[in-house]
C-alpha cells in the first residue's frame, strides 16, 4: 500500500499539479529545528488498516520533504509522532497534542487519524506553532462531498479544466495515478464522498460494464476515507430493465431497484448511495407517473436502507411559467413534503433560488423544512463566474451565504447552522460542491481556482473558518511564504468576487449571461426554449426602470422568508443595494442610499469593476519576483483575458440598458467607444458551436 502512495507525480515541481500539497524543504531554519524535535520516528499504535497506512505514508513523505529528514517507524522514548485511536472523540475527529516529548495524533477512527496527519502537515507547511500544541477538531458536517458532472464520453458539463478525470474506456484495467493524487488532495481537506458522474445521468452507469469501472475507482478512493456515490437516471427500470414503467409505486419497479442496489453493493460494499436529479430540465422523475418527489426518493431509500446507503435528492426544479417566478418553484414543490421523506433521504438545495449566480439571496428552503435534512449545494466550477479565465475567490461567496441568518428558530439560525443540523437537529448532515477539476495538468485550468476547491473542503469541515484564514493557508501551501507576497495575493483573493460582481451583474442584476454556455453578457436575450432561460425574464428593463418585483406587489417571492428577513429586503429605500434588483423594480431616476441615481450607480459599478481588474493586475505584478515565474505568467495572462471580457460585459450592458434609460454615461466616466451592434456580434461568436 505504501509504495502506491508515493506515486504522486513531481516531475514538474511548480506547474500546479501538486496543488496545496507541496512538501518542499522549509527555508525557515528555526521552524525546521522546532519540527525536527518530533521527527525522529512515527509509531502506529493501532491496527494498520489501509486508511492508517495512507496516513503513515503521507506523514513520512511530508516530514521528509519539509524537513529533509527521513523518518522511520522504530519507536523511541521521545521525539516522535504517535498515531493512535481514541474512542471518546467525535466521529472522524482528532486530537493533536504535545505530551511527554512526543506528538500524539489521536483519531476517533481511521479517518480521524488520517485527517489529524494532514492537519499536522498543514501546520508545518504554514510554519505554525507545534511545540506545546493541543488541537481538538471534528467535522461540523458529516457528508462532505464533491459532485462531478462528468459524462461517459469523457466530457464534463460545466467543466472548464479539460476533459474528465475518469478515463472510462481504460477502466477497470488501467488505473491512472492521477486518481490517487486526486484522492489524496481531497482527503487533505476532509472530503469524504464523491459522486463520480453527471446529475444529468446516463443509465449506462448502472450496467455491469460501468459498475466494474466505478468499483475500480472506489478501490482507489477507499484508503483515503472517500466513499463513492452515483448519479442515476430515474427511468433506468424502463431503459435497462425493459419494464413498461418507472412508476416508483409499481411493485415491479421497486423490485428492480432492490435487486440493482444489491448488485451495486456486491461490487462496492461501502457504496454511499444515489444522487438524483428528477423532473428538472427534462430529466425523468416520479411526477411523470403522478407521484411526488417524496414517493420517488423513498422508493430508492427503501432499496438502500439495508446497506445504510443515502438518497440525495436535488431540489433544483422549476416549471416553465412565463407569468410565474422561478425563484419560488422549488419552495412550492418541496415545502409541502416536509416530513414525508424517509430517514435516509437528504434534500440537496442550491445556495440560491435561481442558479449559482455571482450573488444570490439564500434559498428560502433553508429554515423552511425542519423535518427534512437539507444539504447545501455550492458550485466550485465557475459556470456563471467567468469559467477558468476569471479570478474569483469563492470562499467569500460561500461565507456570505453560510453566515446569513434565516431566523428559522429565532436570531442566530444561520444557513450554516441549518445545514450542520444544530437548528433542527437533523440526524444526518451533508454539503456538496460541484467539482472544478479536470484533466488539465494543473487540475482547475486557472491556478487561482485551486483555492476554491481548497476553500470548499475547509468550510465543509468547519464553516466557522474565515475566508481570510483559508486564503492565508492556501497561499502559503501553494505559492509562497513571503509575508509581503502572502498579503498581496490574499488581498487580491478577498476582493476578487466583488470585483467580478461589479463588472458583470451589479446591484442585484442576475442571469443575463450568454444562452446555453452561460458565458459572456447577453442581456438582450428574449427568445429561448423556455421563458426563464432568457435574460429579459429576469431584468424586465424598460423605459421606466429595471428589476424583478418580488415584494407583495409583485411575485411575493420575498414572502417565502421569515418576517425578519423580509424586513431587511422589502423596502427599496433600505434594501441593501447588493440585492436591490433581486427584489425590486426600480426607476432609472431613483436616488439610492449611495447618493447616486440608479442609472449613475449602475454605470459606476461597471467602471469600478474594470478598475478592479486593473488593480488585480497591478497587485499581481508586484509579487512576480516572489513566486514561480511560469505560474505567475499563467495567472497574468488570464488576468489580461479577464480585463478583455470585463470590458465586453461593461460595454454590452451599459449600451443595452441605455436604450431604455435614455441617459448619458455620467461624468467623469468615458462612454464606451464600441456600438451595441459590435458587442452583439462579439457575443454571437461566443455562442457558436
The catalytic site residues sit at: 281, 355, 383
Distance, CA of 401 to CA of 395 (rounded, Å): 10
Instruction: List strand residue ranges (DSSP E) for 562-615, in order.
Output: 586-587
* Secondary structure of 166-211 as H, E, C letters: CCCCCCCCCCCHHHHHHHHHHHHCCCCEEECCCCCCCHHHHCHHHH
CB 640 within 8 A of CB 613: no
Identify the residue whose cell numbers are 494543473: 442
Distance, CA of 24 to CA of 324 (rounded, Å): 56
Identify the residue whose cell numbers are 429605500: 573
Kindly give, in sequence order, each residue whose CB lies less than 8 Å from that of residue 620, ignoring residues fewer than 6 positions away: 489, 492, 632, 635, 636, 639
3-class SS of residue 348: strand
Kindly give, in sequence order, each residue whose CB lies less than 8 Å from that of residue 115, ignoring residues fewer than 6 positions away: 92, 94, 107, 137, 187, 190, 225
Among residues 189, 184, 174, the alpha carbon closest in space to that of 5 is found at 184
Backbone dihedral region for residue 546 (phi beyond 0: left; psi -120 to 50: alpha; all else: beta):
beta
Distance, CA of 439 to CA of 148 (rounded, Å): 13
As a 3-state breakdown, the chain gives helix, strand, coil percent values, each rounded to 5, of: 45, 10, 45
Among residues 435, 454, 443, 437, the alpha carbon closest in space to that of 9 is found at 443
**Cα 130 to chain center, whole Å?**
31
Amino acid at each position: 500500500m505504501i509504495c502506491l502512495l508515493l506515486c504522486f507525480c513531481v516531475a514538474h515541481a511548480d506547474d500546479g499539479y501538486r496543488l496545496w500539497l507541496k512538501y518542499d524543504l522549509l527555508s525557515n531554519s528555526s521552524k525546521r529545528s522546532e519540527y525536527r524535535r518530533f521527527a525522529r520516528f512515527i509509531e502506529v499504535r493501532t491496527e494498520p488498516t489501509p486508511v492508517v497506512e495512507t496516513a503513515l505514508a503521507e506523514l513520512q513523505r511530508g516530514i521528509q520533504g519539509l524537513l529533509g529528514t527521513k523518518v522511520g517507524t522504530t519507536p523511541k522514548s521521545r521525539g516522535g509522532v504517535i498515531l493512535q485511536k481514541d474512542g471518546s472523540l467525535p466521529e472522524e475527529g482528532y486530537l493533536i497534542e504535545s505530551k511527554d516529548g512526543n506528538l500524539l495524533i489521536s483519531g476517533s477512527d481511521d479517518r480521524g487519524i488520517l485527517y489529524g496527519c494532514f492537519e499536522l502537515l498543514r501546520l508545518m507547511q504554514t510554519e505554525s506553532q507545534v511545540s506545546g500544541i493541543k488541537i481538538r477538531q471534528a467535522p461540523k458536517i458529516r457528508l462532505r462531498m464533491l459532485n462531478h458532472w462528468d459524462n461517459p464520453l469523457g466530457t464534463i458539463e460545466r467543466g472548464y479544466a479539460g476533459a474528465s478525470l475518469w478515463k472510462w474506456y481504460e477502466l477497470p484495467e488501467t488505473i491512472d495515478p492521477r486518481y490517487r493524487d486526486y484522492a489524496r488532495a481531497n482527503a487533505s481537506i476532509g472530503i469524504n464522498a464523491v459522486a463520480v458522474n453527471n446529475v444529468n445521468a446516463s443509465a449506462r452507469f448502472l450496467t455491469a460494464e460501468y459498475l466494474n469501472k466505478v468499483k475500480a475507482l472506489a478501490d482507489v478512493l477507499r484508503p483515503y476515507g472517500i466513499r463513492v456515490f452515483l448519479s442515476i437516471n430515474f427511468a433506468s427500470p424502463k431503459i435497462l430493465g425493459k419494464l413498461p414503467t418507472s412508476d416508483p409505486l409499481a411493485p415491479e419497479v421497486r423490485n428492480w431497484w432492490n435487486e440493482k442496489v444489491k448488485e451495486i453493493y456486491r461490487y462496492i460494499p461501502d457504496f454511499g448511495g444515489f444522487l438524483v436529479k428528477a423532473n428538472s430540465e427534462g430529466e425523468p422523475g416520479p411526477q411523470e407517473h403522478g407521484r411526488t418527489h417524496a414517493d420517488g426518493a423513498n422508493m430508492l431509500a427503501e432499496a438502500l436502507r439495508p446497506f445504510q446507503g443515502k438518497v440525495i435528492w436535488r431540489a433544483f426544479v422549476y416549471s416553465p411559467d412565463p407569468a410565474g417566478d422561478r425563484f419560488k418553484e422549488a419552495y412550492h414543490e418541496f415545502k409541502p413534503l416536509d416530513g414525508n421523506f424517509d430517514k435516509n433521504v437528504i434534500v440537496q438545495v442550491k445556495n440560491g433560488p435561481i442558479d449559482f449566480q455571482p450573488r444570490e439571496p439564500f434559498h428560502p428552503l433553508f429554515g423552511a423544512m425542519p423535518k427534512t435534512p437539507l444539504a447545501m449545494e455550492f458550485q466550485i466550477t465557475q459556470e456563471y463566474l467567468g469559467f477558468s479565465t476569471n479570478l474569483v475567490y469563492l470562499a467569500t461567496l460561500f461565507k456570505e451565504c453560510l453566515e446569513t441568518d434565516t431566523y428559522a428558530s429565532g436570531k442566530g439560525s444561520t444557513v450554516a447552522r441549518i445545514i450542520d443540523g444544530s437548528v433542527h437537529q437533523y440526524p444526518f448532515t451533508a454539503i456538496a460542491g460541484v467539482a472544478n477539476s479536470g484533466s488539465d495538468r494543473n487540475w482547475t485550468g486557472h491556478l487561482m481556482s485551486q483555492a476554491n476547491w481548497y476553500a470548499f473542503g475547509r468550510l465543509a469541515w468547519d464553516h466557522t473558518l474565515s475566508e481570510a484564514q483559508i486564503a492565508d493557508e492556501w497561499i502559503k501551501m501553494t505559492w509562497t511564504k513571503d509575508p509581503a507576497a502572502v498579503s498581496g495575493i490574499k488581498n487580491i483573493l478577498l476582493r476578487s468576487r466583488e470585483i467580478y460582481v461589479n463588472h458583470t451583474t451589479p446591484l442585484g442584476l442576475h442571469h443575463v449571461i450568454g444562452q446555453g454556455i452561460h458565458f459572456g453578457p447577453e442581456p438582450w436575450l428574449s427568445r429561448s426554449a423556455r421563458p426563464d432561460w432568457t435574460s429579459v425574464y429576469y431584468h424586465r428593463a424598460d423605459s421606466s426602470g429595471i428589476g424583478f418585483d418580488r415584494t407583495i406587489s409583485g411575485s411575493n417571492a420575498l414572502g417565502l422568508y421569515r418576517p425578519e428577513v423580509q424586513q431587511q429586503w422589502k423596502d427599496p429605500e433600505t434594501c441593501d443595494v447588493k440585492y436591490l434588483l433581486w427584489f425590486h423594480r426600480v426607476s432609472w431616476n431613483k436616488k439610492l442610499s449611495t447618493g447616486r441615481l440608479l442609472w449613475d450607480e449602475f454605470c459606476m459599478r461597471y467602471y469600478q469593476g474594470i478598475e478592479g481588474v486593473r488593480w488585480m493586475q497591478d497587485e499581481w505584478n508586484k509579487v512576480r519576483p516572489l513566486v514561480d515565474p511560469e505560474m505567475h505568467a499563467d495567472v497574468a495572462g488570464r488576468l489580461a483575458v479577464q480585463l478583455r471580457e470585463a470590458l465586453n460585459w461593461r460595454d454590452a450592458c451599459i449600451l443595452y440598458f441605455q436604450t431604455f434609460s435614455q441617459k448619458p454615461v455620467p461624468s467623469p466616466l468615458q462612454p464606451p467607444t464600441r456600438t451595441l451592434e459590435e458587442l452583439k456580434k462579439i457575443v454571437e461568436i461566443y455562442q457558436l458551436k
